[in-house]
Amino acid sequence: MKHRSVLMAGALLLSAAAAAAPRLLWEFAAESTLYAPPLTADLHPAPGLETVVSDSEAKTLRCVGADGKELWAFAGGWKKRLASAAALGAALPDGARPLAVGNGDGSLVCLDAATGAERWRADAGAVEWGGCVWAELDGAPPQELVAGTADRGVAAFSADGAPLWRWNGNARGLLAAADTDLDGRAEVFGATAWGVFCLGPDGAPRWEQTTGDDFTGAPCLFQSGKDWRVAVSSVDDDYLWCLNAADGAVVWRAPLLSGPDTYSGAGTAVADLDGDGAPEILAPGLGGHVHAVGADGALRWVFQTEQATHIAVSAGDVDGDGLPEVLAASGDHALYCLDARGRERWRWTATLRLIGPPTLADVNGDGLTDLLFGGSDRILRCITAGGRFLPGAMPWPSRRGDAAQTGVLAASTVPLVTEERPLFSFGGFEHGKIRDGLAQFDPANPLVDQVLARPRGWRQEGTGAEAFAVVNDPRGGGKNGKSLLLPVGAAALSEHVPVGPEIRAVTARVRMRGPESATAALVWTGAAGALAETPLASGDPDLFGWRTLALEAAPRPATATHAALRLRAGAHAQALWDDAELTGTVAAPAKAEALVNQAGYDTGAPKAFVVQAGFAAKKARFVVVDANGAAVFEGDLPAPERITGFYGHDWGFFYQRGDFSSVDAPGVYRVRVTLDGVTAESHPFEIGPERLWQATARPAYRFFWYQRCGMEIPGFHGACHLDDASTPDGACPSLAGGWHDAGDYNKYHNAPYVYGLARAYGLRAAAFDALRPADEDGFWEELLWGADHVRRMVAPDGSAFGSITTGYGYWGPPELETDNLPCTGDERPAAGHAGAAVDEHHAALARMAALAKETGHGGGEPLAEAAVRSLDRSLAEGRRGWLQLSTAADLFTATGDPRHAETARALARELAPGPLGDVNSLMADTLERCDRALGEDHTAVLAAALAAKADSLVARARNPFGVVAFGDPEKPNYFNTPADKGGWRVGTNSQLLEAAALAARALRYQENPVWRKLAHDQFNWVLGVNPFNLSLMEGVGSAFLPTYHHRYVFSGVPRGAVPGSVVNGVTWRTVGDDRPYVDLSGADVPNFASNECWLPHNTHYLDALSALSAGKR
């Protein structure tokens, strides 16, 4: 047996549906086919969960640890292959957990699950494709074991192996067991060759439903209302049957496109896929079909593989959205992930057929859902799609629903929450066309004004009619200033809005002034195209002739994916339209999330979290639990509140902020919240001295190493752009090196980043140096790499070369963009001289030269020489600002030349003659260094300016997250969303980190708990306390973006993920809609606005972190 730890998957096929591709965590190689699905539970003292597999032809039961390594193996001396699955019982009086497995040779063996030691053995009868189940037959622990055999019926045994009873009927396949009559004891259900039966807890037959069909499938138990039902499929004829558990009466039967075989029949599952409180039965068939049949017997959808073969399913949430997906393991070698409508989201392809469905669990305790499965290629695989593990969203996580193999869907205790949700934003016809993103409308288009005047969110249908138009609203005092004029015979269709399975119904309304022949209709569409068009009923006109057309709570067709509103003018008269609305009735299980800083919290620092819930809880409490689950702190949560953006769009959740700042003992913790009985648990986090520093400082600076240009970065790219660059005059200056700017390979000016990073390094140089592992470059070496490139960017006359870029069109490995040979004609161009950008070059080089002397690293002379040339040019051109002051002060520190001191003193008098205005971190750092170099004292000036700025930031952070918003504190624009024009945009991480740095600078002069909370809240948002429950620093925390906008993905880097990268972050959805957005599609090239890394973000992160951890001046 071999364990293989794998960094990336080689057999991933990402479907067209938006989803994150899973990644392989490890593989365990067995010796023979894994017919039985894995059983995963906490069996052993080793960390995480263990997985038990039946190594069939090797006749060995194996236990594999959370790391994919074998913990024990039991060779049972079986005479036949081990094709059946093990069943795990509840703890026995001695604390051991019993693990039982049957064999085709008739033996039934019970082991100690922790050690694999045999406890007892019995002669039960042949168990090959069937199995056994643990249940309380006598109403009290310990559980009893019931085995279904192929030759001797059904046999029950006590926990210590004593025979209890045997039913000698014609049993086959797997059993199910549950207390369906509420007497405290479990009944046993099974299938025969011709029907279905129920046995009492004493083995006496309760009923037998014989139809003559071949019941190859295994029975599954679920509740429909208060009644228990039995679902089981048959072949010849191919039906899914639903029987009353009390008496076996047929409730309904649904025809299947293909019936089950042994593999498919055992892989039936039951789950509430759409959250409406009624389960769906997932019936696999031999033709590669997965049928989703409602509890009422109606077929919801069918999925089919291209190859007609066996398939088996389990169901659970693998993407962390709170609703289960369907996981289907197929004989065509693929594991399919299907959404609630049966659409493929992704597939994983093995080398041979898969047999049993996957088992879903958080194997390694990282808070993410793992999938374990095997088949004929003899490999047990553990993969993850990166979704958060939500135990309440795992209705059928393994072949029989649980480790005891009961075949029961547990009744949900989570209530449904119903609310009305606006689906459409542009029914007032107040907005013209806009184009989001970088590509804007071409102003040279002769019809551009006409295009821009078209109503946003609408299009005209058909041809021949006069064009529709937005006109001034003729209603005196109407709430809207515009209306839509539809000419005679014209029609308009709104944009198609998505209607997910959580939307039960849609209400449509619109106001119309015109002929009674004008109509409106709600249009439903799905994968098959147009599904239905339902007219709106017209009301009576008001005094101005306006009438309301409405359709109340139209049920969503089962296969509908989108809805739209169609407006038609009369055949002989025009019509005016206004106030169009589409409102969805949403019913979904009540759910909540506890959002924490996934990197952790510092001892002695503020410790806040936020609860995000889909309902307003009347009673809300939280408890902080340690790694052992013991409570260490608890408290009440405040009243829930909503967040509404600048343009009136609600974020869609209730928010409550909690605090556990008094918890300071180092360790790993989680926050567990309970809202009116609904529970949620956070990702794990650590508390410790300087936890933020220890967890994030090195990843934040190490990110720049992965972004290096001009050298090989193993696992990321080869040596690239060694021929940078060419200039407009045909020269080829040596400008290789530096860093790729973002998710592209361009090099604009690295100087701002060297300058910002050097300022951060200067605050805690020794602490940064202490983080350096012996076998890699540290922060100082990274600064030198960037500084060397900046030095070469400065021309002999003190000017600087401009951006080195070929734009955004190249999407391959960076080493292939050019031939890497200078002056051959394919070099990337450097744009002339940089003009004012030269200032950042001399500031960066001078800061590095000063640090080289201050820290004893040495080697700063070439940097100082280039800085002097650059500064002289800048001053000669009349620029006298903060960058010039910074450079002069640092050059005096580095060289001792008194002329630089004179320049610095003069600039300080000009820039800070008295109280400062709007201060920032750069200004504060510059004045502090100037004071140290020149012996001056701006302490009072800086303290006052920083205090005023910190207070203004606090005023703009009055929200549950505590993040700084833009604009008026009384009406915040959280993401600086524009009202009417798209264009380039990125998320707000840099702005938030700049705010954190400012607050941290203020704290160096004066302790203020409000400022300290402000600083930590900005870090919290970046590291997990945001509406998406994601750490926006790759690799630090538990949950991350599914994919990144980075060309490295086409260089072989999984997900395009660069360790330590801070992405652009949360941004607005669209123009005029400042609800939060990040791209969770899992696309190879997701939206850059939220999912792209960029050097400024890590620079600001390190600036803020250094200032916060540096302590008082």
Together in a domain, 582 and 604: no
985 or 62: which carries more pLDDT confidence? Answer: 62
**For residues 453 and 439, what is the distance between their CA atoms, to the nearest angstrom?**
18
Query: What is the domain-level CATH number for residue 389?
Result: 2.130.10.10
Mean pLDDT of the 349-363 span: 97
Q: Does the residue 963 lie in any domain?
A: no
pLDDT of residue 1082: 85
Mean pLDDT of the 504-510 span: 97
Together in a domain, 605 and 580: no
Name the strands in the sheet holding 60-64, side by side, starting at the edge strand that comes first in the sequence: 39-41, 50-55, 60-64, 70-75
Together in a domain, 357 and 442: no
| Cβ-based neighbour number of residue 334 at 10 Å | 23
Q: Provide the token pair at 951.
A: 């207070």
Together in a domain, 435 and 408: no
**For residues 929 and 211, what is the distance between their CA atoms, to the nearest angstrom?**
90
**For residues 966 and 682, what is the distance between their CA atoms, to the nearest angstrom?**
29
Is residue 432 pLDDT above 80, yes or no? no
Whether 1046 contacts 1056, CB under 8 Å: yes
Residue that terminates a domain, selected from 688, 718, 736: 688
pLDDT of residue 1070: 86
pLDDT digits (tens, 9 = 90+) for 848-905: 999 999 999 999 999 999 999 999 999 999 999 999 999 999 999 999 999 999 999 9
pLDDT digits (tens, 9 = 90+) for 528-577: 899 999 999 999 999 999 999 999 999 999 889 999 999 999 888 999 99
Whether 622 contacts 594, CB under 8 Å: yes
- Which of these, 885, 903, 895, lies nearest to 842 by C-alpha position? 885
| Coil, helix or strand at residue 530 | strand
Mean pLDDT of the 597-620 span: 97
pLDDT of residue 1: 38
Q: Provide the token pair at 192.
A: 């025969």
Together in a domain, 423 and 528: yes
Q: Does the residue 626 lie in any domain?
A: yes
**Residue 173 CB-half CA count within 13 A:** 32
pLDDT digits (tens, 9 = 90+) for 285-300: 999 999 999 999 999 9
Q: Does the residue 122 lie in any domain?
A: yes
pLDDT digits (tens, 9 = 90+) for 226-262: 999 999 999 989 999 999 999 999 999 999 999 998 8
Is residue 162 pLDDT above 70, yes or no? yes
**For residues 689 and 291, what is the distance between their CA atoms, to the nearest angstrom?**
54
Is residue 799 pLDDT above 80, yes or no? yes
Cα angle vertex 532, ends 530, 538, to 5°? 130
Together in a domain, 655 and 626: yes
172 or 239: which carries more pLDDT confidence? Answer: 239
Integer-rounded Cα Rg, in Å, for the chain is 33
414 or 1020: which carries more pLDDT confidence? Answer: 1020
Share of the chain above pLDDT 70, in %: 96
Together in a domain, 407 and 423: no
Mean pLDDT of the 953-976 span: 96
Q: Does the residue 258 lie in any domain?
A: yes
Q: Does the residue 1017 lie in any domain?
A: no
pLDDT digits (tens, 9 = 90+) for 295-317: 999 999 999 999 999 999 999 99
Cα angle vertex 972, ends 969, 978, to 5°? 135
Together in a domain, 12 and 132: yes
Region class of 856: left (phi > 0), else alpha (psi between -120 and 50), else beta: left
Residue 692 is classified by DSSP as H
Residue that terminates a domain, selected from 858, 875, 905: 858
Together in a domain, 550 and 574: yes
pLDDT of residue 3: 38
Instruction: Provide the pLDDT confidence category of residue 44 given band limits of 50, 70 and 90.
Output: very high
Mean pLDDT of the 421-436 span: 81
Host domain of residue 480: 419-588
Query: What is the domain-level CATH number for residue 657?
Result: 2.60.40.10
**For residues 233 and 247, what is the distance between their CA atoms, to the nearest angstrom?**
18
The lowest-confidence range among 530-534, 832-836, 962-966 is: 832-836
Together in a domain, 337 and 309: yes
Is residue 818 pLDDT above 50, yes or no? yes
Is residue 843 pLDDT above 60, yes or no? yes
pLDDT of residue 20: 65
pLDDT of residue 416: 82
Residue 725 preceded by cis peptide, ω within 30: yes
**Residue 1007 CB-half CA count within 13 A:** 3
Q: What is the domain count for the chain? A: 4
pLDDT of residue 266: 86
Whether 704 contacts 692, CB under 8 Å: no
**For residues 128 and 106, what is the distance between their CA atoms, to the nearest angstrom?**
9
- Which of these, 481, 479, 453, 480, lies nearest to 468 by C-alpha position? 453
**Which DSSP string corresponds to 387-425?**
EEP-GGG-SB-STTSSTT---B-PPP-PPEEEEEEE--S
Residues 498-527: b if buried by 16+ CB within 10 A, e if exposed: ebbbbbbbbbbbbbbbbeeebbbbbbbbbe
Share of the chain above pLDDT 90, in %: 82
Q: Does the residue 572 lie in any domain?
A: yes
Type of residue numbered 110: C
Together in a domain, 191 and 107: yes
Region class of 957: left (phi > 0), else alpha (psi between -120 and 50), else beta: alpha
Q: Does the residue 131 lie in any domain?
A: yes
* 924-929: Cβ within 8 A, 24+ apart: 924/998, 924/1001, 925/759, 925/762, 925/886, 925/1001, 926/882, 926/885, 926/886, 926/889, 928/1113, 929/762, 929/850, 929/886, 929/889, 929/890, 929/893
Together in a domain, 178 and 83: yes
Instruction: Provide the pLDDT confidence category of residue 17 given band limits of 50, 70 and 90.
Output: very low
Residue that terminates a domain, selected from 388, 412, 436: 412
| Cβ-based neighbour number of residue 197 at 10 Å | 24
| Cβ-based neighbour number of residue 533 at 10 Å | 12
Residue 142 preceded by cis peptide, ω within 30: yes
The mean of the pLDDT values for the chain is 93
Q: Does the residue 81 lie in any domain?
A: yes
pLDDT of residue 10: 30
pLDDT digits (tens, 9 = 90+) for 269-282: 999 998 888 999 99
**End-to-end CA distance of the chain, in Å?**
59
Is residue 474 pLDDT above 80, yes or no? no
Instruction: Provide the pLDDT confidence category of residue 835 given band limits of 50, 70 and 90.
Output: low
